Each structure stands twice: as structure tokens, then as C-alpha cells.
Amino acid sequence: MSWGLISEMGHVSIQTRNLEASVFDATQLLGLRETARNGGTAYLAAGRVHHELVYVESDLDALDGFGLIARDGDALLELRRRVDDEGFTIVSDRPRFDATEDGFSFIGPEGFVFDIALGVQHDRPAAGGFGPDRYGHINFHPRDVGGMMRFLRRVLDFRLSDTIGDDFAYFMRCNSDHHGIALIRGEGTLHHHAWQTQSVADLAKLGDRLHLAGRELIWGPVRHGAGHNIAAYFVEASGAVVELYTDLEQIYDDNRPPIEWGPDDNWWNMWSAYRPLEFRQYGIAPVPTARLK
């Protein structure tokens, strides 16, 4: 269910210095399937689409872009009009990645690239195996968190679900999911991309797979206050964090006012006040625009 111009989260694309290690983490630890390989670009998905995660072979580890799906053709045209009116730089007048319908890409605030598409081709998932149901959301750390929040509302038509403290963090939605984008004031990096699964038991199985690979969870399972989801996190080969979550709050009233959390209200974990001090130090910066695919 969506009310705005963006109907769903599309993909996240990451440039990586070790393409095979990134694909290993996505397929053997998280449980995605690789749907296609085009030169140094690997496409992966959990749901019935061609891609929800894209890795681009590179000589640096960096965020390549955020993909969003427009509600329909009229919404795509309106989004393009808004982007042009704001004076943002257009990277491409057509989709940058394979199996994508009509769309465009632009450089938003603080150098974050947004790929707006009308849709992604459907794909049949492999039978059996393990893995999440779909790509769910991103969490990134702009320097001007309030400015980014206002951009997402004004230009991309996101709704505000929760606020944290005094201009510290915002959770924003484009459909009934409590958040598709979470913003926390930081140093201008992508912190994590997040994937929905059906059961908290899948989070324990993720921990087991990490252990067998000589890796570890960096936090979780925890029960977040903002969004109410149960989540666990690990660091992938690129340096970005991956979240596997379940039981995210659904919002079916588009007029629901934002929930306001104080800075000490345990919005990060309803089960404990503990937070790893190093948790927010992970992440990757946006790629220099001259290095985009």
C-alpha cells in the first residue's frame, strides 16, 4: 500500500573492491540468489525481481546509489519535474542497470545518488535454500539530517513515521512499511541495507552461518523501539552493514502523526539499554560522481 509518488524501495548498489567476496556474503551468508552477471556487475535478489542488490566491481568500496520505484508513469514524470525544479544534477536519462523499465538518476543532497525507475523485471526465485523475502530499507547518516528529511518529503514524497531527539534521526516511509529510509545524523555514509525475513529463528540461523564462516554478528538480535522490528547485523565485504529483520511495524493510516522519541527513550532497543559503541562507525561513503557506472 502506498500513498505517494514512490511505491516501494527498489535496490541498493555498491561498488566493491572484491566482487566475489561481496557476492559470497550476499549468497552464502544472507541467502540472496545471483540473478545475472554483466561484466563486473553482479545482480542479486531475494524477491521475485531481477535485482534488489547490485555490486559493481571497482577499485574502491563505496555506495553507488539508492533505487526507488515510482508508483506509475505519471508519478515518474512528476518526480522528474520536481528534481529539475530543484536544480539537481541528472546522472542519466535512462536506467543505469539492466532489466529496469523507464527511469532516470540524479545526484541528491550530499552526493547521494538516487535511481528512480518505473519498475524492475520480474524473476522466478530458485526453489529451496534459505534467505530473506525481500529488500526492505536503508539506513544512512547524512551530515544535515534535517535537510535530507525535508528533501525526501518535498521532492520524493516520503512520509515521516518517527522522529528521534532534536534533529538527530528520522524514520521515513513510502508505503505501509514503517520505514524505507532511516536517517541518523552522521558523517555522510550509508550504514546498512536491510532485508525482511519471516521468523526470528532466521536471525539465529544467520548467526550460525556467520560463526561457521569465522565471522560474527556485530549487534543483535534486538527489538527496536522505532519500527518495533527484531533485527541482527553483520558487516559485509565492502564495509557496509547488513541487517536481517522481522516483525516491522506496518502503518495503514497515512495521516498517523509521527511518534516522537526522546534521545534516551530506548528507541534503539526495547530489550536493553546496551548499544555497541562501534556500531555506528561502520559504513561506506558515496562514490565520487565521476566514478559512477
* pLDDT tens, per residue, the chain with 293 residues: 667 999 999 999 999 999 999 999 999 999 999 999 999 999 999 999 999 999 999 999 999 999 999 999 999 999 999 999 999 999 999 999 999 989 999 999 999 999 999 988 888 766 667 899 999 999 999 999 999 999 999 999 999 999 999 999 999 999 999 999 999 999 999 999 999 999 999 999 999 999 999 999 999 999 999 999 999 999 999 999 999 999 999 999 999 999 999 988 989 999 998 989 899 999 999 999 767 76
Model pLDDT, residue 129: 78
**CA–CA dist 291, 149 (Å, integer):** 26
Q: Is the pTM of this model over 0.85?
A: yes
Pick the closest to residue 168 from 137, 141, 138, 139 (CA basis). 141
Q: Which residue in 204, 237, 236, 208 sits closest to 220, CA to CA?
A: 204
pLDDT at 127: 63
Q: In whole angstroms, what is the distance from residue 45 CA to residue 254 CA?
A: 29
